[in-house]
Amino acid sequence: MLKITGSEDYYPTPESLLEKITEGIDWPEAYYVLEPSAGRGNICDFLRKKADSFKWSTYHRNLEMDIDCIEIEPEFRAILKDKGFRVVHDDFLTYHTYKHYDLIIMNPPFSVGARHLLKAIEIQQTSGGAIICLLNAETLRNPYSNERKNLLQKLEQYGAEIKYYEKAFSVAENPTDVEIACVKVIVPEPERKTTIFETLREKDYEEYEKKAQNSELAESDLVSAFVAQYNREIEWGLRLNDELRELKEKSLEEKSLITLRIYNGEDDDKNYIFSVNEYVRAVRRKYWEKLFRHPRIVGRLTSNQQNEYLTKIETLTHYDFSYWNIKTIQEEIARNLIKSVDECILDLFDELSARHSWDEDEKINIHYYNGWKTNSAWKINRRVVLRLSAYEHYSGGRYDVWLWRVIPKLADIEKVLNFLDNGETGEVNINAQMEEAKKSHNLRNIPLKYFTVTFYKKGTCHLTFTNERLLKKLNIFGSQRKGWLPKGYARRRYEEMSAEEQSVIESFEGRESYKSSVMESEYYLFDAGHSMPMLTA
C-alpha cells in the first residue's frame, strides 16, 4: 500500500467542490493551466474531464488543455506520471518559468497556503492570468503574520473574489470539517516598459559561452552555465517582443511593418507568428538538443543511446530548461547506463566475434576453444575484420575519404571498452587522428586508444588490439556471460579445478595466463554497477 507522506496536511479536493469553485470559467480559453500542489491528481483529473467535454463539440473539436503539474512528494509524482500528467518541478516555491499560464488552480497544503498563493500571484504578475486557490479560512480571517497581511493587501489590490465554505471536505478522501476559503484572482497583464536596446549592451553573453566550452569546468557548473545562457536568451526574446508590441501600439492604425516569427529549423513556410509560449518551447527545444549533444553530458553514451535521448526532445519542450529538470535527466541517464552496460559489452563481444564470422574475410576474427559444456565456444582474436568503409567515390585518380560513418562507429567501440578499462588508458583524440590520416592519404595503422585501424578500398577495416590485457578482459566477460567458462573462474586456483575444467582453461588461455587472471581477478571480473563512473549533477 502506498505510504502517504505528510498526510496530516493533505486534503484531496472532491469533485463536487471543484464544480462549485470553477463556475463561470470559460474552459476553452483556459488552455495553459498549472496545478502547483497536484497530490495524486484530483484537480488534474477534473481538468482533463472538463477539456474532454469540450473536445468533441463541433466548435472546439481540436481543443487540448496543456496541463503542468508540480508535486513535492516523490510517491505522488510517480502516480501523476502513471496517469500521463506532466510533472515539471518538485517544489512550487522554488519554481521559475517564463511560460504564461491562463489559469493556476490550486489546493496547497493548508499550513503554507498563504506562501503558495503569493507565489502564484508572483507568477501571474509577469504575464497576467487567473488564479483559483483553496485556503484554510483562518489564513484570511486571522492575518497575524506579515506574510498573511501581505497576501490580504495583494488580494485587495487585484479585487479578489473570496467565498467561504463550511464542511466542504467532510466527504473528501481525507475528511475534515475545517472552514475553507476559495480565492479567485484575475491578475491583469502588466504594462510593458522596456529598455532592451539600452540593457542589451550591458549583458555579456561571452562569459557563459566560455564556461560552456571549458572542458575542465565541473559538470554542475557546466549545467549552471547552460541554464544561465538559456535564461538570457529567453529574456532577450521576450524584451524584443515587448518592444515590438509597443511599436505596434504607437504606429499609425496600430500597424507595424515588423513581425516576429519563430524559426523552427525547417522551411520558412512552416515557421509561425510569435507567441510567448511557442517561443519558450522553441528555445527549450534548442537547449535540450544542445545538452544531449554535449560530450560532457552524454559523452559516455553510444550513438544509439544518444539518439534515444534526442527522440525525447519534443516531449521535453514542455519542461523548463532548469537545473532541477536537467539533474533529473542526468540521474536517469546514469541509471540507464548501469542497466545497459552489460548489454553493450556483450553486444560488442558478439559483433567482433560470431556475428559475421561466416564471412570469408571475417573468419579470422575468432578463435574456437573447448568451452564449458559446449563445443561451440570462441573468443576474439587480436586482429578482427569489420565491414566498415572509409572510402567513397573515385575521382581525380584518388578515392575520396569519408569519415562521417567511420568515426561514430569506432567511437562507439571505444566507449564500450571504456567501461572495461576503468580509466587506465590515456585519452586519444579519435577525430584528430582520423583527420590527420585523411590529410596524409594514409589510412593504414592509425593509432587509436585501444587499437589501430587500417581501411581497405574494398570496404573493410582491420582492427588490431594494442591493449591485449583489455582484450582478454573483454573475452572473459563475453565467455562468462555465455556460460563457457567454469563456475568460479579466476576465483579458484588451477589446481583446485577438475580435469574437465582444467581442459577448458588450457583451451581458452593456458595455465600461465590463468594464473595472472587469478592474481588480478579484481580487474578481470567486471561488475557494471561498481566499475562504471557515475554522472555528477
- Do 36 and 162 belong to one domain? yes
pTM to 2 decimals? 0.64
Q: Which residues of 433-460 are buried (b: 16+ CB within 10 A; e: fewer)?
A: bbeebbeeeebeebebbbbbbbbeeeeb
pLDDT digits (tens, 9 = 90+) for 467-525: 999 999 999 999 999 999 999 999 999 999 999 999 999 999 999 999 999 999 999 99
Among 140-154, 216-230, 445-459, the minimum mean pLDDT is found in 216-230
Question: Which runs of E-coded beta strand occur in 381-537?
Answer: 383-387, 391-395, 398-401, 446-447, 451-455, 460-465
- Do 410 and 521 belong to one domain? yes
- Do 380 and 295 belong to one domain? no
Domain holding 58: CATH number?
A: 3.40.50.150
Q: Say whether pLDDT at 128 is over 70.
A: yes
233 Rama class: left (phi>0) / alpha (psi -120 to 50) / beta: alpha
- Looking at the chain, the whole-number percentage of residues with pLDDT higher than 90 is 45
Distance CA 308, CA 287 (A): 17
- Do 429 and 401 belong to one domain? yes
* Bigger pLDDT: 32 vs 415: 32
Highest mean pLDDT: which range of 50-59, 294-303, 459-468:
459-468
Q: Residue 518, SS3?
A: helix
Where do we find the cell 585519452?
Answer: 427
Sign for the CA dihedral angle at 275, 322, 316, 62 comes to: negative
Query: How high is the pLDDT of residue 306?
Result: 75
Task: Evaluate whether residue 1 is within a structural domain.
Answer: no
Query: How high is the pLDDT of residue 192?
Result: 67
Q: Which helix (H) or strand (E) holds 478?
A: helix 468-481
What is the residue-averaged pLDDT of the chain? 83
pLDDT digits (tens, 9 = 90+) for 56-90: 554 544 567 899 999 999 999 999 999 999 999 99
Task: Evaluate whether residue 334 is within a structural domain.
Answer: no
- Per the structure, the count of domains in the chain is 3
Q: Say whether pLDDT at 111 is over 70.
A: yes
Nearest to residue 381, comparing CAs of 344, 421, 354?
354
Q: Say whether pLDDT at 535 is over 60.
A: no
Query: How high is the pLDDT of residue 201?
Result: 46
- Do 156 and 212 belong to one domain? no
Q: Say whether pLDDT at 209 is over 50.
A: yes
Query: How high is the pLDDT of residue 174?
Result: 54
Task: Evaluate whether residue 460 is within a structural domain.
Answer: yes
Question: Which runs of E-coded beta strand occur in 283-441?
Answer: 366-369, 377-380, 383-387, 391-395, 398-401
- Do 183 and 210 belong to one domain? no
Across 109-125, average pLDDT? 95
Task: Evaluate whether residue 327 is within a structural domain.
Answer: no
- Do 63 and 95 belong to one domain? yes
Q: Which of 187, 213, 239 is the last residue of a domain?
A: 187
pLDDT digits (tens, 9 = 90+) for 149-200: 999 999 999 999 999 998 766 555 555 678 999 999 999 988 766 565 455 4
**Domain hosting residue 459, numbered range:** 351-531
Q: Which pLDDT band, with edges at 50, 70 and 90, does 5 fall under?
A: very low
Residue 476 DSSP label: H
Q: Which of 299, 321, 343 is the last residue of a domain?
A: 321
- Do 20 and 165 belong to one domain? yes
Q: Which residues of 199-224 are buried (b: 16+ CB within 10 A; e: fewer)?
A: eeeeeeeeebeebbeeeebeeeebbb
* Bigger pLDDT: 334 vs 127: 127
Highest mean pLDDT: which range of 6-10, 258-262, 376-380, 419-423:
376-380
Among 94-98, 157-161, 211-215, 438-442, the minimum mean pLDDT is found in 211-215
- Do 279 and 408 belong to one domain? no
Q: Say whether pLDDT at 211 is over 70.
A: no
Across 389-409, average pLDDT? 73
Task: Evaluate whether residue 65 is within a structural domain.
Answer: yes
Query: How high is the pLDDT of residue 357?
Result: 57
Task: Evaluate whether residue 413 is within a structural domain.
Answer: yes
Integer CA distances (angstroms), 11 to 43, 136, 138, in order: 12, 11, 16
Q: SS in 3 state form for 112-168?
A: HHHHHHHHHHHHHHCCCEEEEEEEECHHHHCCCCHHHHHHHHHHHHCCCEEEEECCC
- Do 65 and 42 belong to one domain? yes
Across 22-47, average pLDDT? 91
Q: Say whether pLDDT at 358 is over 70.
A: no
Among 25-34, 171-180, 234-243, the minimum mean pLDDT is found in 171-180
Q: Residue 315, SS3?
A: helix
Query: How high is the pLDDT of residue 359?
Result: 66
**Backbone φ, ψ for residue 161 (5° rounding):** -95, 130
- H helices, E strands: number in the chain: 21, 17
DSSP β-ladder status, 451-455 and 446-447 = antiparallel
Task: Evaluate whether residue 465 is within a structural domain.
Answer: yes
Q: Say whether pLDDT at 215 is over 80.
A: no
- Do 145 and 170 belong to one domain? yes
Q: SS in 3 state form for 230-253?
A: HHHHHHHHHHHHHHHHHHHHHCHH
Sign for the CA dihedral angle at 494, 500, 503, 508 comes to: negative
Rounded to 10 deg, the angle between the 323-352 and 468-481 helix axes is 90
Q: For residue 20, what is its C-alpha cell?
A: 462549485
* Bigger pLDDT: 25 vs 489: 489
Q: Which pLDDT band, with edges at 50, 70 and 90, does 532 fall under?
A: very low
Query: How high is the pLDDT of residue 244?
Result: 83
Q: Which of 187, 210, 240 is the last residue of a domain?
A: 187
Query: How high is the pLDDT of residue 1?
Result: 25
Task: Evaluate whether residue 537 is within a structural domain.
Answer: no
Distance CA 439, CA 267 (A): 36
- Do 235 and 290 belong to one domain? yes
Query: How high is the pLDDT of residue 264?
Result: 63
